[in-house]
C-alpha cells in the first residue's frame, strides 16, 4: 500500500479504468470534492466502493463551512468559521456537529478541518471567512470545540494549515505566501490542539520566523521537525499541485520533497493523470534511499492508526436537523444577543 498518497478521483462514480488504476496505486487516502457528489445515495455508494479498494484507504472531505463546503449540493449551506465564531461557542459546536454527522452518515472517515489559522489584516484566509477569530487564544478555544464536535461522531479531523497561514497575503493556490513574525506564536496553537488521533496539514508558505527562509514549510525538514516535537499523529502536505510550489520541481519531485522533509502523506487532488507518476517516482527514490524507505514505513504505521474504522451511521433526518440548527445558531448569534468571549468571539 502506498500510504503516503492521498488522491482525488474524477467524478461521481469510478470508471472501470480508474478503479483498476486505484487498485494498482493503493493510495492511503482519497479526497472528495463537489465534482464527486451527485446525491447522497450515490455519494455513500462511492465511499463504500473506495473503502473496498486494497488496503481500505480512508475517505476525506473539506467540510469547514462557508465557502469550503463540498456537501452543499446535498445539504445546502453552512455558516463559515468566522460567522460561527462571532456567534459563539454554541454555534461553533453546532457547526462541528453538523459536519461530523454528515460525514458519518455518508461513511466519510475524515473532515479536513478545522482551520486553525488566525485571521490577520491583509491575509486571504481571513478575508474568505475561514478563520474562527483574530487572536490565537480565540482560535485555539473555538477550533477545539469544533474538532471535538466532529470527533463525537467517530470522524477524524485534520488541523490546518501549519504553521499558520493567517498572515499570508497571497493565495497559496497561485503563489507562495510569506508569513509574518506572528507565525511563531500561531504555530503554538497547533501544539495545544494536536494528538495522535488527529492529523495536521502543513502549508506551502515561507516561515522565516521558524528558522527556514528558503523552503516552504511543507518541504522544510526544520519546520516539519518542529511540528513533530509536539505532534504524534499524521502530518499531511497540502495539495502539491498548488501554484505556491511552482518553482520547486515537477509534481512527483514536489511530492517526494515533502515526504523527504518528514510529511507522512501528500495530497494530489486534481492532476489525476499524474498520480501514477508520483508513486513511481517515490518508489524509485525510496529504493535508492534507505532512510526515506524507513521513514515511509513509520509514516504508514502512523496513518494506519488514523481513520481506519468507518464511523457509526447517523440517520439522514438527524443530519438535516443538525445542519438547520447550525444555520439558526449562527444567524441568531449575528443579531448581537450573545455576550463577549475572548477576542471578539461570543458565547451564548
Give pLDDT tens digits along the chain (348 positions).
Answer: 999 999 999 999 999 999 999 999 999 999 999 999 999 999 999 999 999 999 999 999 999 999 999 999 999 999 999 999 999 999 999 999 999 999 999 999 999 999 999 999 999 999 999 999 999 999 999 999 999 999 999 999 999 999 999 999 888 999 999 999 999 999 999 999 999 999 999 999 999 999 999 999 999 999 999 999 999 999 999 999 999 999 999 999 999 999 999 999 999 999 989 999 999 999 999 999 999 999 999 999 999 999 888 999 999 999 999 999 999 999 998 665 443 333 333 332
Which of 265, 267, 259 minimizes the C-alpha distance to 293? 259
Backbone region of residue 69 per phi and psi (left: phi > 0; alpha: psi in -120 to 50; beta: other values): beta
The answer to whether 227 and 202 have CB atoms below 8 angstroms apart is yes
Q: Which three cell numbers stand for residue 25?
A: 496505486
What is this structure's pTM?
Answer: 0.94
The answer to whether 26 and 2 have CB atoms below 8 angstroms apart is yes
- Characterize the bridge pairing of strands 265-268 and 339-341: unpaired
**2-343 — its CATH code?**
3.20.20.300
Residues belonging to the chain: 348
Q: Name the residues annotated as catalytic.
A: 173, 238
Amino acid at each position: 500500500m502506498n500510504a503516503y498518497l492521498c488522491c482525488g478521483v474524477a467524478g461521481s462514480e469510478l470508471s472501470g479504468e480508474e478503479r483498476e488504476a486505484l487498485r494498482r496505486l493503493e493510495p492511503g487516502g482519497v479526497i472528495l470534492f463537489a465534482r464527486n457528489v451527485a446525491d447522497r445515495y450515490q455519494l455513500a455508494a462511492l465511499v463504500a466502493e473506495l473503502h473496498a479498494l486494497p488496503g481500505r484507504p480512508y475517505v476525506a472531505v473539506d467540510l469547514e463551512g462557508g465557502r469550503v463546503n463540498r456537501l452543499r449540493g446535498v445539504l445546502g449551506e453552512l455558516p463559515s468559521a468566522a460567522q460561527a465564531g462571532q456567534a459563539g461557542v454554541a454555534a461553533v459546536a453546532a457547526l462541528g456537529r453538523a459536519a461530523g454527522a454528515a460525514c458519518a452518515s455518508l461513511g466519510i472517515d475524515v473532515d479536513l478541518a478545522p482551520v486553525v489559522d488566525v485571521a490577520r489584516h491583509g491575509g486571504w484566509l481571513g478575508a474568505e471567512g475561514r478563520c474562527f477569530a483574530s487572536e490565537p487564544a480565540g482560535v485555539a478555544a473555538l477550533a477545539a470545540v469544533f474538532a471535538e464536535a466532529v470527533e463525537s461522531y467517530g470522524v477524524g479531523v485534520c488541523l490546518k494549515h501549519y504553521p499558520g497561514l493567517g498572515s499570508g497575503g497571497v493565495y497559496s493556490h497561485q503563489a507562495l505566501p510569506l508569513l509574518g513574525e506572528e507565525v511563531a506564536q500561531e504555530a503554538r496553537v497547533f501544539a495545544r490542539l494536536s494528538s495522535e488521533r488527529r492529523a495536521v496539514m502543513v502549508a506551502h508558505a515561507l516561515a522565516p520566523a521558524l528558522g527556514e527562509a528558503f523552503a516552504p514549510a511543507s518541504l522544510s525538514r526544520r519546520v516539519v521537525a518542529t511540528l513533530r516535537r509536539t505532534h504524534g499523529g499524521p502530518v499531511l502536505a497540502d495539495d502539491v499541485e498548488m501554484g505556491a510550489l511552482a518553482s520547486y520541481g515537477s509534481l512527483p519531485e514536489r511530492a517526494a520533497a515533502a515526504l523527504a522533509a518528514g510529511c507522512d502523506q501528500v495530497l494530489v487532488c486534481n492532476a489525476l493523470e499524474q498520480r501514477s507518476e508520483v508513486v513511481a517516482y517515490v518508489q524509485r527514490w525510496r529504493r535508492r534511499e534507505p532512510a526515506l524507505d524507513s521513514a515511509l514505513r513509520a509514516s504508514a504505521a502512523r496513518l494506519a492508526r488514523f481513520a481506519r474504522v468507518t464511523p457509526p451511521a447517523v440517520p439522514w433526518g438527524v443530519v438535516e436537523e443538525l445542519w438547520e440548527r447550525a444555520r439558526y445558531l449562527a444567524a441568531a448569534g449575528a443579531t448581537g444577543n450573545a455576550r463577549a468571549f475572548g477576542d471578539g468571539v461570543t458565547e451564548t
